[in-house]
Structure 1
């Protein structure tokens, strides 16, 4: 869940501008008790946008911060909407990219200080599914995955899968609906991605020749698109009929 915390009337107005881009977000205006509610949201993994002073955010979250691999992304904005600061989980949690999206939507300046702040991220979707999987199953899962990382369909470069899915009607339809290119790769092409997978399924390997379709396809597509080392930003999630993963690579 995306949660926007505003403390002033001007901040509330800015929050409502952000809600136009992320209508699924929740606005907390002057939440009380402030520290308790904010810390609870952080610990349950909400993606947080604060429209207030950075010092307030740091003092409030300090007792519950763990590490960059577990903490959710946190952005801080000034109430005039001139600056967007990715405060926590810039790389691993996606705050840098999410912050760039928020900055672009507001016409604001991104203030990022991490090593890859001035490179352009390329996001790729990888999907696997049962033969004949309905479009609704694919689309709901895809949108859930994007929401978890604060992304929208417009941020996605392409949709990919393994070559035995090259004629999968609704994977093709999903790509067409969102104006993405749809590409498939052979097991031989995807095999080098094995060391980057979050899990290794012997069943999938025995069936199609790779240890994970969605993650492998997303990673290989990102590597091709950006010509740089790819990384998973969304480990495979699934529903009853499909799987999806998101990978990222950076290009100058």
Structure 2
């Protein structure tokens, strides 16, 4: 985890160094700052700009902020930069004596609760966790989704489900993937019944919704193979891409990567689509694609141009190391195929 730390007193700097040493030993990337008067302490960088500027920079570049000082200082510092729980970094406050570690912001999705516990255990502090599901030892859908690398489809519905859990309601679950272990109390692994309003659906697909209030948890396990003519427009690539996703009811949030032949390595329309989706674009040689086992849709024309009988299907399978679920779809000089890799999840 990329962590920025700040302290304001000599005692705070000492505690900051203790935390930094412990977290660095645990594999975190920790950088500590302090007032210039205490920057002579080993490992403490002098704070050259204002606290607000430091906070703004840390919010943009780091995954967690640790304030060693008063909670009020942290609250005032971060207030201007709060956006949303899905993007805000974790914020933890530790008093200058290291007695208490407080999870202040992004407890579940940002990882502040886990970081707070880690700090507390490392320096002998008391962890202060205020999220209701943690206090009541209940299932937290956003925490579980994060730990299993699942994208939450609707944060407002996730809040409703957390409230339902706290109100002792039963939550249903339906999954296209294996989930190992015993489900938590109140979680029933079955289809919706008349007494189940809320449910979780773990799937790459946007349909069906098996519960009256279905929260989709989306695994990033889909690879899209793409073939196209040279110099194709971005608009045509996007049209073909989104038409296939819409037809197959596959969530765009499930896309893990785009793949093609190395001849397309610098094809602007594909690289721009990958940038837009914020996913990598992998390419393979004709030899690598040709050696990929499976039953693919052959094309003499594609073979003459590229040296392999099919690009999109082979690229999707090779890139995902999974199963081809959508065979070649041709739309306006674009060919699209989709593969999904097998994934498993854990209840605990």
Normalized against structure 2, the TM-score is what?
0.41
Q: How many Å separate the matches in 1 of 2:64 and 2:147?
A: 21
| Structure holding more helix per residue | 1
Structure 1 residue 64: Cα displacement: 1.0
- 1:18–1:115 distance in 2 versus 1, CA, 3 Å: same
Equivalents in 2 of 1:44, 1:101: separation in Å?
22
Residue 208 of structure 1 corresponds to: 322
SS of residue matched to 1:22: helix
2:15 is the counterpart of 1:14: yes
1:126-177 CA-partner distances (Å, limit 9, x unpaired): 9xxxxxxxxxxxxxxxxxxxxxxxxxxxxxxxxxxxxxxxxxxxxxxxxxxx
Aligned residue for 1:101, secondary structure, equals helix
Asked whether the 8 Å contact 2:320–2:341 carries over to 1, the reply is no
1:72-111 correspondence runs (5 A): 72-111=89-128
Q: Indicate how the Cα distance of structure 1 residues 188 and 124 shifts in structure 2: closer, same or farther if over 3 A, else same.
A: closer
Number of the residue aligned with 2:4: 3
Question: CA contact under 8 A between 1:45 and 1:71: conserved in structure 2?
Answer: no
CA RMSD, 1 decimal: 3.0
Given the alignment, which residue of 28, 50, 59 partners 2:33? Answer: 28
- For residue 70 of structure 1, the aligned residue among 75, 87, 94 is 87
CA distance, structure 2, for counterparts of residue 86 and residue 78 of structure 1 = 12
> 1:193 and 1:57, CA in 2 relative to 1: closer, same or farther beyond 3 A?
same
**In the aligned structure 2, how far is the partner of 1:60 from the partner of 1:51?**
13
Work out the CA distance in 1 between the residues paired with 2:20 and 2:223.
39
**2:70–2:95: 8 Å Cα contact kept in structure 1?**
yes
Gaps of 5+ in 2: 36-46, 150-175, 180-201, 205-216, 225-315, 324-338
What residue number does 1:61 align with? 78
- Given the alignment of the two structures, is residue 43 of structure 1 paired with residue 60 of structure 2, yes or no? yes
How far is 1:188 from its partner?
6.8
User: 1:41, CA displacement in angstroms?
Assistant: 1.1
Q: Which residue of 1 aligns with 2:220?
A: 198
Deviation at 1:211, TM superposition (A): 2.4
Q: Partners in 1 of 2:87 and 2:322 — Cα distance? A: 32
For residues 108 and 78 of structure 1, what CA distance do their matches in structure 2 show?
9
CA gap 1:208/1:110 in 2 versus in 1, 3 angstroms: same
How far does residue 94 in structure 1 lie from its aligned partner after superposition? Answer: 0.8
Count of residues in correspondence between the two structures: 159
Give the Cα separation in 2 of the matches to 1:198 and 1:188: 12
Q: What are structure 1's unaligned runs of at least 5 residues?
A: 127-186, 227-252
Q: What is the DSSP-based 3-state SS (H/G/I as helix, E as strand, rest coil) of the residue aligned with 1:86? A: strand
In 2, Cα distance between equivalents of 1:53 and 1:188: 45
Between 1 and 2, higher relative CO (CA 8 Å, sep ≥ 6) is seen in 1
1:99-178 correspondence to structure 2 within 5 Å: 99-118=116-135, 119=137
TM (normalized to structure 1)?
0.55
